Amino acid sequence: MTSATRTSVQVRETKETKVAVTLDLDGGGSADVSTGIPFFDHMLEQLGRHGGFTLSVKTEGDLDVDTHHAIEDTGIVLGQALKQALGDKAGIRRFASLTVPLDEALVEVALDLSGRPYLAYDVDPVAEWIGTFDPQLAEEFWRAFVTSAEVTLHVRSLAGRNGHHVLEASFKAVARCLRDAVRVEGGGVPSTKGTLS
């Protein structure tokens, strides 16, 4: 990561998964995603598009076991990429909150690029499965992401009967909040401590 470009390339390989993420916070909103889990790909594409990032995610995982490792490890690596791309966080807005509708679904998100990992996740997944995606694993993805990125994130569903709509609204809401929070609008680190780490 350089001061001129807020980018990161991260690769993590274990016996269970291999994950490669490239992130450009100022890239303009495009995503190239391949995880072997189509609905999860669709959700990560929302992060790139609505976050205003250029995002590439390539995940190979032990999908013959289940999708848990691939989804969680993708969250870990994406969080690492965000943390590196932000650097010392000088001038960023830091905070953001938004409520996003998708048809009957309504999801509220608030986040703080605080340097302190915390997840409050109150989302009824509604559906048992969406294609090959287990909606319960969305929480595991966000927990892994906030832990690696050191972000405080609150996600709460206010309404929704369709699991696809609820989860898509949540990913879009997080994406838009990230887009606002990473925006550079000042010169110093937005903390009375002088650091966000």
CATH code for the domain of 32: 3.30.230.40
Asked if 171 contacts 153 with a C-beta cutoff of 8 angstroms, the reply is: no
Asked if residue 186 belongs to a domain, the reply is no
Residue 22, in any domain of the structure = yes
* Cα–Cα distance, 129 to 131 (Å, whole number): 6
User: Into how many domains does the chain fold?
Assistant: 1
Q: Is 2 part of a structural domain of the chain? A: no
144 phi and psi, to 5 degrees? -65, -40
Task: Say if 1 falls within a structural domain.
Answer: no
Q: How far apart are CA 143 and CA 39, in angstroms?
A: 19
Is 72 within the bounds of a domain? yes
Say what the pLDDT of residue 196 is. 62
In a domain, 145, yes or no: yes
Question: Strand pairing partners for 109?
Answer: 98, 155
pTM beyond 0.75: the answer is yes
List pLDDT tens digits, range 28-66. Answer: 999 999 999 999 999 999 999 999 999 999 999 999 999
Residue percentage of the chain with pLDDT more than 90 = 90
Tell me, what DSSP letter sits at residue 36?
S
The 8-class DSSP code of residue 133 comes to: B
The boundaries of the domain holding residue 114 are 7-181
pLDDT of residue 1: 40
pLDDT digits (tens, 9 = 90+) for 12-21: 999 999 999 9
